[in-house]
Amino acid sequence: MQPKAGEAPRVYQSSIASTTNASGVTNVGNATQTIVPNRKLWQEPVETNDIIKVK
């Protein structure tokens, strides 16, 4: 997504933490969560077909 011309929208990002459940299974985080509070300030998203590989 790209901001609309003349706009400077606010974006919040945070790292996703790893978790371990009660039985000891661990899920690896190591990703970024991005929150866009006001979608009206952005152009329509375009699918990229990018594949994100997890290490």
Q: What percent of the chain has pLDDT over 70?
A: 96
Note whether 35 and 1 are within 8 A (CB): no
- Domain ranges for the chain, please list them: 1-45
Q: What is the pLDDT of residue 30?
A: 81
pLDDT at res. 16:
92
The per-residue pLDDT of the chain, averaged, comes to: 90
The string of pLDDT tens digits covering residues 27-49 is 888 889 999 999 999 999 889 98
Non-local (6+) Cβ contacts of 4 within 8 A are 41, 42, 43
- Binned at pLDDT 50, 70 and 90, residue 55 comes out as low
